[in-house]
Chain A
Amino acid sequence: MAESIKDKVAIVGMGCTQFGERWDTGLEDLVIEAAYEAYEDAGIEPKDIQAAWIGTMFNTTAAGTLASPLKLGSIPCTRVENACGTGHEALRNACYALIAKAFDLVLALGVEKMKDTGFGGIATGPTTSGTEAWRPTYFYGVSPPTRYALAATRYFAKYGLSPEQGKRVLAKISVKSHYYGARNPRAHLRREITEEQVMKAPIISWPLGLFDCCGVTDGAAAAILCRAEDAKNFRDDYVVFKGLGAASGPGMGKVLTTYDFTWWDETEGAVRQAYEQAGIKDPRKEIDLVEVHDCFSIAELIATESLFLCERGKYKEQMSDINAYYVEGEMPVNTSGGLKSFGHPIGASGCRETFESYKQIQGKAQEPSRQKKRWKTDKKLALAHNQGGHPGKFACNVTVVGLP
Chain B
Amino acid sequence: MTGIISYGAYIPIYRMNRELLAQVWGSAVGRGEKAVANFDEDTITMAVEASIDALGGMERQADGLYFASTTPPYREKQCASIVAAALDFPADREFFTADFTNSLRAGTSALKAGFEAVKSGMAKKVIIAGADCRIPAPDSEFESLFGDGAAAFVLGDSDIAVEIEGTYTTYSEFIDTWRREKDAYLLTWEDRFIFEEGYEKHLPCSIEGLMAKHKLTKKDFSKFVFYAPDARRHAAMARRLGLAPKEVQEPLFDQVGHTGCALAPMMLVAALEEAKPGDRILLANYSDGADAFSLRVTEQIEKIKGRRGIKHHLNSKLMLANYGKYLRFRDLMEWQAERRPSDISSLTSLWRERNQFLRFHGGKCRRCGTIQHPIQRVCAVCQAKDDYEEIRLSDKKGTVFSFAMDERAMVKDLPNVSGVVDLDGGGRCYGMLTDREPEKIEVGMKVEMTLRNLHDGSGIHNYCWKPRPIRA
Taking beta carbons and an 8 Å cutoff, which residues of A are in contact with B?
Answer: 117-119, 121, 123-126, 134-143, 145-147, 149-154, 157, 202-208, 250, 252, 254-257, 259, 261
Contact of B402 among A141, A151, A256 (CB under 8 A): A151
B410 A125 Cβ-Cβ under 8 A: yes
Cα distance A137–B360 in the bound complex, in angstroms: 11
Interface residues on chain B, size class: 35 or more
Output the least CB separation between B393 and chain A (Å).
12
Cα distance A351–B454 in the bound complex, in angstroms: 38
Which residues from A are CB-within-8-Å of B316? none
B416 A141 Cβ-Cβ under 8 A: yes
Known: A137-B454, A153-B443. A125 touches B402 (CB 8 A): no
A204 B408 Cβ-Cβ under 8 A: yes
Interface centre among A118, A141, A151, A152 (most CB of B within 10 A): A141
Contact of A157 among B381, B402, B458 (CB under 8 A): B402
Known: A136-B462, A139-B430, A257-B428. A121 touches B374 (CB 8 A): no
12 further contact pairs, Cβ within 8 A, besides A146-B404, A149-B404: A124-B406, A125-B343, A143-B408, A150-B420, A153-B404, A203-B407, A205-B407, A206-B407, A208-B404, A256-B428, A259-B428, A261-B402
Which residues from A are CB-within-8-Å of B443? 153-154, 157
B349 A134 Cβ-Cβ under 8 A: yes
Known: A118-B339, A252-B380, A255-B376. A137 touches B463 (CB 8 A): yes
Cα distance A205–B444 in the bound complex, in angstroms: 19
Which residues from A are CB-within-8-Å of B238? none
Which residues from B are CB-within-8-Å of A202? 407
Provide a sorted-by-A list of 12 A–B residue pairs whose CB atoms are within 8 angstroms: A123-B340, A126-B344, A137-B350, A138-B353, A138-B464, A147-B404, A157-B443, A205-B405, A206-B438, A252-B376, A254-B428, A257-B426
A150 B402 Cβ-Cβ under 8 A: yes
Interface centre among A119, A121, A150, A257 (most CB of B within 10 A): A257
A255 B380 Cβ-Cβ under 8 A: yes
Within residues 381 to 413 of chain B, which ones have a CB less than 8 A from any CB in chain A? 381, 401-411
B370 in contact (CB, < 8 A): yes
Cα distance A135–B346 in the bound complex, in angstroms: 7
Closest Cβ neighbor of B407 among chain A residues: A203
Closest Cβ neighbor of A205 among chain B residues: B406
B342 in contact (CB, < 8 A): yes
B349 A150 Cβ-Cβ under 8 A: no
A255 B373 Cβ-Cβ under 8 A: yes
A141 B410 Cβ-Cβ under 8 A: yes
Output the least CB separation between A328 and chain B (Å).
35
Cα distance A257–B407 in the bound complex, in angstroms: 27
Which residues from A are CB-within-8-Å of B429? 254
Cα distance A141–B455 in the bound complex, in angstroms: 10
Output the least CB separation between A254 and chain B (Å).
4
Contact of A140 among B341, B346, B454 (CB under 8 A): B454
* Interface of A: prevailing SS: loop
Contact of A205 among B341, B357, B381, B404 (CB under 8 A): B404
Output the least CB separation between A329 and chain B (Å).
31
Cα distance A272–B150 in the bound complex, in angstroms: 57
Which residues from A are CB-within-8-Å of B339? 117-119
A206 B428 Cβ-Cβ under 8 A: no
Which residues from B are CB-within-8-Å of A157? 402, 443-444
A146 B416 Cβ-Cβ under 8 A: yes
Which residues from B are CB-within-8-Å of A126? 341, 343-345, 457
B372 in contact (CB, < 8 A): yes
Cα distance A208–B420 in the bound complex, in angstroms: 17
Which residues from B are CB-within-8-Å of A118? 339
Contact of B340 among A124, A138, A250, A254 (CB under 8 A): A124
Which residues from A are CB-within-8-Å of B444? 157
B422 in contact (CB, < 8 A): yes
Output the least CB separation between B4 and chain A (Å).
34
Which residues from A are CB-within-8-Å of B416? 141, 146
Closest Cβ neighbor of B380 among chain A residues: A252
Which residues from A are CB-within-8-Å of B455? 136, 140-141
